[in-house]
A and B are shown apart, each in its own frame.
Chain A
């Protein structure tokens, strides 16, 4: 292998100059000749029967080309792929209400599409949408998970038997009986994961153009996975995948909310078919806050037990998951929390069960971390609760129960094999960076002065790099989550690489080029990374989510490059008049073994590859590779947070934040740090600020950025980062994912610190978001 030059280098993101100077190509920047605009008329009710839809006034409004309701689409959107639901880890689904992109008789969440209006201008479409006169018969809305589970509860869908989407037990309770019977200490806690709004700064946009002569459909849209959308939309519209092209240029964030298909993904192309004009829909911020697939929305009831000496024994976890009105395409992925709730620790036994519940709210689906932040929060909170009961330092309790470095690969309680780890190494480094002992002394002093100062840890782990076929095949209903790459070397030596992953902020255009530059030994400037167009590259791309882009997609690039080098050796052997097995490839040059001056540069070999070649050797220098990982990858790390709680205002101020993370080998340290900064900031949002709040009738109260409070730059403290490097044995690059790590790790560190801060008042647990009024109220109650 070539001496690494670019892998590991802190080079600036190649995509940034374009993006930060306003020259990005987001879907809303694009237009087509003859473009018309679509506005969606949405249900103001969480649950209602549609009595009538009056469209006449809207049709007469200036510029309007048409107003369409469910019956107008029945012959166009008819295929089986409409709103598919992957079985994932909850195979025994009970109620899975069918979902059509536009409501027929019953609306089941606030914002469900009821009609669409198409007009020459966007303003005209918006004006006319307000003239559509829908008469509703309101039905009782079921909003709370536990209410929805009760027999006799109002139903989220009147035509379904009840609200139980699934009820899956992974390991039965009997399996942990011994671990609780023999325990010295048992702690129980309910832990809330409130609903979050993903809020990608670029809202969703769909533009579609149907060509009635060639019967081809082109869609431009903001998505994390164009090929999946092509699969779903072509199926629903009864078209072959060969006649549908999905293009996605720059995407301004996704966080999971741009994976699954949405109603508009079907409605916009269908309307283009109906009006025979290109059609664009741009989601408003109000629509995005209300109807982007939400994150989290779960309740955990957890018990954990241990021996006096701190040996962990048993855990029992029940996850109650608010699916919303329809099960998300990948919504059941969040049940992975039930398999990961043990965290980084050795337990004798763990039982877990997940119940998915339908409510009259927007669907929940994976949101940055998806199940893993929840699992970490459960594990890390339970460890701290046990530490309090055992009167042990939380650091000591963690150390006592880590698998040792030598025990990896380590098979955890649910049979998942943790590929590599050195949990003490990252913890040691974090403690040193944080100044743990000194900070504990300062805490003791501050407490004497009556200050509420706390320290919290999160020694998190993660499963990512989705994923091995043995797991992802059954989980998706047949599609293995491998990844593809195509490398084309042109005659003058330029390299075009087409990847099946998709950049929505991760910096792949840079990291992918770094990998290829090293693998091919060519300057990075000579490499172009292309993605986001289903008409380019391999037959299928799986997309970017689940921290898989590098650990799966990056490996596919490396392998496609290796295939190109192999072909290059054959060509080089021909022009160097040597035997193929005597050709050595090193730093961009092919030379004869033992004669480094007898060599041809990569460009010369590329040119020769398109010239006259001996019989049996085809022209061209290109290759496709698919990589199906044999296992997941398992990043880990240690986050330590210090907070001070102001008892009078309830404000929790993060005063110090340290994170030492391990994602295996690193391609670009700057991008790794950026992912961590962003992830931790998002986690601070969940821990302290964000929550979707509905009233009992199903109206979203937190419907603007005034009420749905995302932290801004001002609310994010200085974050000190460091790392350890434990290469992954799962792939030849030794890499793991880092895109979700910050979000997975940080809530537990912050909440543990807050719980520690208020512990002198006798408070044991604080839920998220730890808002000032909640904390103030909890402190007030504790002081009574």
Chain B
């Protein structure tokens, strides 16, 4: 319906925002694109006492390259990532992944930092960042730090961020030359949260062996899942239907995705296998096509 009463601040600089966070901590909530928070507030499921709206902090937006690394400002909109030639050129996995986020209108408002800080296990960007071994730049009034994706995503809607900390940017290392990437998911409707999905990068040698591989799953558990044992199974192996199938089975071993109205745990598990398999096939084809 409509949100419960709240206080509102709109800092113009990161320093002002960090001041407010230091002062209010747990009592407040950061408002980025608002695509998840605002509906929760309208349902009155979230009732923050204070909103700190960081939409006016220009320095938090933008995509740039820093020493070969991709640096995406936290307030960069999904649509900016989607249409960035920089991203498409060096990090096509992100371009493909971000296209699955909601609908066009949502991508025009939703932000990269908001998506990672919200930490929905069904979200596309956290899984893609996991596959790409991204790191998050985090600031607080008292100190700044870098947090790797593995430490950052703790559980459903839970991150390693302290109440006074702000994600300011995401750093994504440049994939090796010759890597093929693919992001595949299945949702009931276009724009829905994925019932299962996979973000994959793979590099093949001249003989068709897997030189490097990363497999990250979404909607697979409380946080993005890196299928490390499947990765090591595949590394060094000839990449063919059989090895891909075996890796997909291995990738989902031990997972227990949560059942809901749209799918049982068993269904979601098999779907994750299928998605992993399809993503690996696609990524391997792309790797072969890459000079």
Contact = CB atoms under 8 A, between A and B. Distances in A.
Interface of A: 122-123, 126-127, 130, 284, 286, 648-651, 689, 693, 701-702, 704, 706-707, 709, 711-712, 714-715, 771-773, 776-777
Contact of B263 (A130, A693, A702, A773): A773
Contacts of A126: 1-2
A702 B44 CA distance: 18
Given A122-B2, A772-B195, A777 B267 contact: yes
Given A127-B4, A649-B186, A706 B193 contact: yes
Contacts of A127: 4-5
A689 B192 CA distance: 12
Nearest to B275: A649
Given A126-B2, A707-B261, A689 B191 contact: no
A752 B190 CA distance: 24
B274 A709 contact: no
A122 B44 CA distance: 15
A712 B191 contact: yes
> Looking at chain B's contact residues, is the secondary structure mostly helix, strand, loop, or mixed?
loop
Contacts of A771: 188, 262
A776 B192 contact: no
A712 B106 CA distance: 15
A286 B42 CA distance: 10
B271 A706 contact: no
Contacts of B5: 123, 127
Contacts of A777: 264, 267
B145 interface: no
Given A286-B43, A701-B261, A772 B1 contact: no
B142 interface: no
7 contacts: A286-B43, A648-B274, A693-B261, A709-B192, A712-B189, A714-B189, A714-B190
Given A650-B267, A776-B267, A711 B189 contact: yes
**Which of A714, A776, A777 has the most B CB atoms < 10 Å from its CB?**
A776
B231 to A, nearest CB: 22
Nearest to A688: B188
Contacts of A286: 1, 43
Nearest to B3: A123
A772 B188 contact: yes
Interface residues of B, number: 23
B1 to A, nearest CB: 4
Contacts of B191: 712, 714
Nearest to B196: A649
B270 interface: yes
Interface string B175-198: 000000000001011111101000
A702 B274 contact: no
A706 B187 CA distance: 11
Contacts of B2: 122-123, 126
A226 to B, nearest CB: 27
Contact of A651 (B4, B186, B264): B186
Nearest to A651: B186
A709 B274 CA distance: 23
A127 B189 CA distance: 34
Interface of A is mostly: loop
A776 B261 contact: no
A652 to B, nearest CB: 11
Nearest to B193: A706
Nearest to B277: A648
Nearest to A285: B1
Nearest to A650: B267
A346 to B, nearest CB: 40
Contact of B190 (A648, A651, A712): A712
A773 B262 contact: yes
Contacts of A704: 43
Interface in B254-271: 260-264, 267, 270-271
B261 A702 contact: yes
A123 B189 CA distance: 33
A773 B267 contact: yes
A714 B104 CA distance: 12
Nearest to A714: B190
A195 to B, nearest CB: 13
Contacts of A693: 261
Given A689-B189, A709-B188, A773-B264, 5 more contacts: A123-B2, A286-B43, A702-B261, A773-B263, A776-B267
Interface string B228-265: 00000000000000000000000000000000111110
Nearest to B186: A649
Give the most central of A123, A130, A707, A772: most B CB within 10 Å. A772
A715 B267 contact: no
A231 B1 CA distance: 31
Contacts of B189: 689, 709, 711-712, 714-715
A709 to B, nearest CB: 5
B1 A689 contact: no
A707 B195 CA distance: 12
Contacts of B1: 126, 284, 286
A772 B192 contact: no
Nearest to A648: B274
Nearest to A701: B261
A768 to B, nearest CB: 14
Nearest to A39: B1
Contacts of B262: 707, 709, 771-773
A720 to B, nearest CB: 22
B69 to A, nearest CB: 35
Closest 4 CB pairs of A and B: A714-B190, A773-B263, A284-B1, A773-B267
Contact of A776 (B43, B188, B270): B270
Contacts of B188: 689, 709, 771-772
A577 B286 CA distance: 89
A648 B1 CA distance: 39
With a 10 A CB-CB cut-off, give which of A122, A284, A704, A773 has the most chain B CB atoms: A773
Interface string B1-13: 1101100000000
A234 B270 CA distance: 59
A137 B5 CA distance: 31
Contacts of B44: 130
Contacts of A130: 44
Contacts of B195: 772-773
Nearest to A703: B43
Interface string B189-229: 11111010000000000000000000000000000000000
A88 B263 CA distance: 39
B261 A649 contact: no
A689 B195 CA distance: 14
Contacts of A714: 189-191
Nearest to A122: B2
A772 B195 CA distance: 10
Contacts of B261: 693, 701-702, 707
Contacts of A122: 2
A771 B188 CA distance: 8
B3 to A, nearest CB: 9
A436 to B, nearest CB: 30
Contacts of B263: 772-773
B192 A706 contact: yes
Could you say which of A123, A649, A651 has the most chain B C-beta atoms within 10 Å of its C-beta? A649
Nearest to A708: B261
B190 A715 contact: yes
Contacts of B271: 648-649, 776
Nearest to A776: B267
B111 to A, nearest CB: 20
Contacts of A650: 267
Contacts of A701: 261
A130 B5 CA distance: 13
Nearest to A691: B261
Most chain-A Cβ atoms within 10 A of its Cβ — which of B264, B267, B270?
A: B267
Contacts of A712: 189-191
A648 B196 CA distance: 12
A236 B189 CA distance: 44
Contacts of A773: 195, 262-264, 267
